[in-house]
Amino acid sequence: MPAQKKSVSAWEQRLAQLLPLYGHRNWIAVADAAYPAQSNPGIETIFTGCDQLTAVRKVFNAITASTHVRANIYLDQELASVAEHDAAGVLDYRGQLERLFGPSVRQVPHEQIIAKLDQAAQLFHVLILKTSLTIPYTTVFFELDCGYWSAEAEQRLRKTLKTPRGKR
């Protein structure tokens, strides 16, 4: 009996097409059900039809497996204050994100992240993967960065470029 082939959804296929094209300054966001479709032509929104944590894990794993990019991960700062009695399941969701990402996540006010996303979309592509989750402030934002060149290496390069040639 042949092994069953795993079915890949349309959004996963789209992610697989785009990720090799994306680089530093591109963004991928895994959004909750109420996230709006934005009018900026640099932002592509796809409804995944799956739960949030499944989509977050798949995006995180795809980025982690790539050699050319890594991600700075952002969460809405407001998520830490959403109460369980107002949004059932938020405690479990936060716990699962913490186990997945550890302490490396940056928490920034929602409006600041949206402004960064909008600014990036002026020049670079942004992919929004919308899920069925109905808990507010749960979008996970992946700001892509170069996977093979660190910020420290860039700083050293810039310092070298400012130094006169004879003094290097």
Helices (H) and strands (E) in the chain, counts: 5, 6
Cα–Cα distance list, 19 to 28, 66, 101, 149, 154 (Å): 9, 8, 20, 17, 23
Q: Where are the domains of the chain?
A: 10-167
Q: Write out pLDDT tens, residues 38-82.
A: 888 899 999 999 999 999 999 999 999 999 999 999 999 999 999
Three-class DSSP labels, 24-43: CCCEEEEECCCCCCCCCCCE
Residues in the chain with pLDDT < 50?
Answer: none
Half-sphere exposure of 105 (CA within 13 A, CB side): 24
User: What's the DSSP call for residue 19?
Assistant: T
Residue 65's pLDDT is what? 96
The pTM score is 0.90
Residue 103's pLDDT is what? 86
Residue 164's pLDDT is what? 75
Q: Write out pLDDT tens, residues 58-70.
A: 999 999 999 999 9
Residue 8's pLDDT is what? 76
So what CATH class is 10-167? alpha beta
Please report which helix (H) or strand (E) contains residue 78, including its range: none
